[in-house]
Structure 1
């Protein structure tokens, strides 16, 4: 069960005006489980709120993105899901679940806090990468009415050769069922996180214990959950609101640090993102941003400016109410 109305909001590690509160959840087979809801108030009259989900080996630290929404009159909330970032407990396997629906409990509670406790009547859903798969599945299942949905490089399919998505998926599902905590071998270059972090080749400050350069291990049970989520998406959803899918213009798979790392998606296949974007529902806008990284909001300044320009155009056209409203 989740926390009650007395949950304490504390200053977040990001500093003011960001606060954080703990959501207590039912324990799982590893023990105690929590999630954390980070919030930032809107600037000026409030139009609504944003609820944001992060990706794999990630957590919320993208303050420029939150500040952009706050400047448009949206209170911003970001959920660090169970076993991610602020929510990792010592006894837990980081980032591990065996069903994406396990996350629905904390999303449900975040929704309750935003809409019932804090009184926001209009909510925009936002998510990145793996969160961009989880959020549409939750909306489709719970039938929540969103004012809009923004997905930043959502993980809509398994990248790689065709057999990875056919024979490989069958194998993953069987291993994931029998030995869910078997580690799936993979090579992680660390180039993506290095391209972001200010102590390496990037400009952003974040906790490398929560978002490590080497990522986190991928387990068979978790990958099975992802492939089940992909199959559900591919069958067609209806999120019931205007959706914006942002991605880089192209993907590449570099072996050394260079311009390719900084100006392409080196994590996911953007052609798959664009292929499956229409599966979200009847009203989907897909935009490829030249020179963007996997997290388009963490791109180099010129591409980042394009991201916010495109986002602003879409929000103005499909999301913002004419007058400011509470």
Structure 2
């Protein structure tokens, strides 16, 4: 399969997913057009819940950094609402990790648009006409960057209208739209951070200590969730300065955009970055600053609703049940308003 803009991909796997018989996995191999290495061939994985096979509207979920799709209950919520449900494991993440490339590596945030192209084209072939993107953390930046791409070339716009379903809405779960500092601090330190990561693009911060956030989540540390620690390690993966530079570039570019797509921002009530214990971290978002996040969203999205989830974790679906239920309730209410 190919697009008229130089992207080519091949279906190389189609099987029952590790989540069980309700889920199907399709794996695609494609050339990374952002890489200068002609030998570089990457994979992306599209996971599909088998419910509501005749529905023409669907959710497409995009995970965050050091993450992959494993939240079966999240998929089942949308199935119960009458939607189809798909999720991506982006190139270099989860099911798409390969031994010849570093986990979670990217040359540019833009390159994940290739994964979304593959997902949308496949969903169209499956009979989906209308899609709402749901994106968490860095996935929110990926989705927003994708939606902000110019489609000025007539042949590109015409092809996308025919080959892709209509993307009618965007739901952001604690999106990584700004660096994790309060607004006043962010204004002072954003420039020095940009200079540092630009001067040292091949450096990285070693991941050698279990994060407090991971201790709030995984059953190994007393949390509620039992996910694969090789794909979502408790220490995280090494943090590449190149990756951070590309994130900052994407954030700055997005801040200059004006997106009209109906958007729901869901965030925790408070940030708990820098707390000393898992219990303190559990009181809110232990990864990002919720005020800077909302400021950035309000700057870029012109049709924005905001849902504040008391007691919500950084990944709101992985929060304790009262906050998780509130998150799902806000999504359901917002989707109903869009119909």
For the criterion TM > 0.5, the same-fold answer is yes
1:12 matched to which residue of 2?
17
- Deviation, structure 1 residue 47: 4.8
Query: Quick check: 2:132–2:170 contact (8 Å CA) kept in 1?
Result: yes
Q: Which shifted more, 43-52 or 249-258?
A: 43-52
1:199 to partner: Cα distance: 2.2
Match among 108, 131, 136 for residue 128 of structure 1: 136
1:299 aligns with 2:319: yes
| Alignment correspondent of 2:85 | 76
Per the alignment, residue 323 of structure 1 pairs with: none
Q: Which residue of 2 aligns with 1:97?
A: 106
Q: Spell out the pairing of 1:85-234 with structure 2 (5 A cutoff).
A: 85-115=94-124, 117-141=125-149, 145-160=166-181, 161-162=185-186, 163-176=188-201, 181-184=202-205, 189-234=210-255
Q: Partners of 2:209 and 2:266 in 1: how far apart?
A: 24
- Mark the runs of 5 or more structure 1 residues left unpaired by the alignment: 321-326
Is the 1:51–1:76 contact (alpha carbons within 8 Å) kept by the matching residues of 2?
yes
Give a deviation string over 1:92-140, Cα, whole Å, max 9, x none: 111011211111111111111012x112111111100000001011012
- CA offset digits 1:177-218 (Å, max 9, x no partner): xxxx31146885512122111222211121000000000111
Q: Greater relative contact order: 1 or 2 (C-alpha under 8 angstroms, separation 6 or more)? A: 1
**Contact 1:191 1:261 survives alignment (8 Å):** yes
SS of residue matched to 1:205: coil
Structure 1 pair 10–196 and aligned structure 2 pair: CA distance change class (3 A) = same
Residue aligning to 1:280: 300
Over residues 53-112 of structure 1, what are the superposed CA-to-partner deviations in whole Å (9 max), with x where a residue is unaligned? 110000111111111111111111111111111111112111011211111111111111
TM-score, length-scaled by structure 2: 0.86
- How far 1:255 moved relative to its partner? 1.7
Specify the SS of the correspondent of 1:166: helix
Distance apart, 1:261 and its partner CA: 2.1
Q: Which moved more, 1:136-145 or 1:120-129?
A: 136-145
TM-score calculated relative to the size of structure 1: 0.89
Between stretches 264-273 and 186-195, larger displacement belongs to 186-195
Q: Secondary structure at the match of 2:68?
A: coil
CA distance in 1, matches of 2:292, 2:206: 23
Instruction: Check the 8 A contact 1:45/1:73 in 2, yes or no.
Output: no
Q: Please say if residues 90 and 115 of structure 2, whose CA atoms lie closer than 8 Å, have aligned partners that are also in contact.
A: yes
User: What does the per-residue CA deviation read over 1:3-53, in whole Å, with 9 as the maximum and x for residues that have no partner?
Assistant: 44x654211111121110111111544733111010113348625011111
8 Å CA contact 1:2, 1:109 repeated in 2: no
CA distance in 2, matches of 1:35, 1:201: 32
Structure 2 unaligned spans of 5+: 1-6, 152-159, 161-165
Aligned ranges 1:252-263 → 2 under 5 Å:
252=272, 253-258=274-279, 260-263=280-283
Kept in 1: contact 2:204–2:240 (CA 8 A)? yes
Task: Provide the C-alpha distance between the structure 2 equivalents of 1:132 and 1:241, rounded to a whole number of angstroms.
Answer: 14
Does the residue aligned with 1:263 lie in a helix, a strand or coil? coil
